Amino acid sequence: MNRAGATATLAVLLIAVTGCGDATAGTESQPSTTTTTATVGEEESVTPATFDPASQEEAEEFFEQFVGTSQVEFETEAERHGYEVRPLRVDGEEISMVEDVRFRRLNISVSDGIVDEIIGVF
């Protein structure tokens, strides 16, 4: 076989091989864009809301509206806005804490299950 014939044979083989595939070629499914909401008991899970305060003071001002609610309600709102909650005082007793640094954390005081003070925002 001459060089031209070998090149033509190779081209045909390449076309035949690249044309092979599984039977589902071209029918790939697209990723699902359906959003689901999980329900746990009576509560529905919530996607974190967008809240990006310019300062710690602005965050504290925002969360002040939830002082006076139950600790559970306060934590739910904080988590919904991307914050973690750490009680530092419960029923007048100081809670020992680890001095770790975490951003977007609210340190609170709780009396009888009600948040009565925001001690700090980090």
Q: Where are the domains of the chain?
A: 53-121
- Write the CB contacts of 71 (distance below 8 Å, at least 6 apart in sequence): 85, 87, 108, 110, 113, 114, 115
How far separated are the first and last CA of the chain, in Å rounded?
78
pTM of the model: 0.57
- Write the CB contacts of 120 (distance below 8 Å, at least 6 apart in sequence): 106, 107
Q: What is the pLDDT of residues 11-52, one digit of tens each?
A: 544 454 445 444 444 444 333 333 334 444 555 555 555 667
Residue 83 neighbours by CB distance under 10 Å: 23
Asked whether the predicted pLDDT for residue 10 surpasses 50, the reply is: no
Q: What is the pLDDT of residue 44?
A: 55
Using an 8 Å Cβ cutoff, are 56 and 105 in contact? no
Asked whether the predicted pLDDT for residue 4 surpasses 90, the reply is: no
Choose the CATH number for 53-121 among 3.30.450, 3.30.420, 2.60.120, 3.30.10: 3.30.10
Q: What is the pLDDT of residues 59-97, one digit of tens each?
A: 999 999 999 999 999 999 999 999 999 999 999 999 987
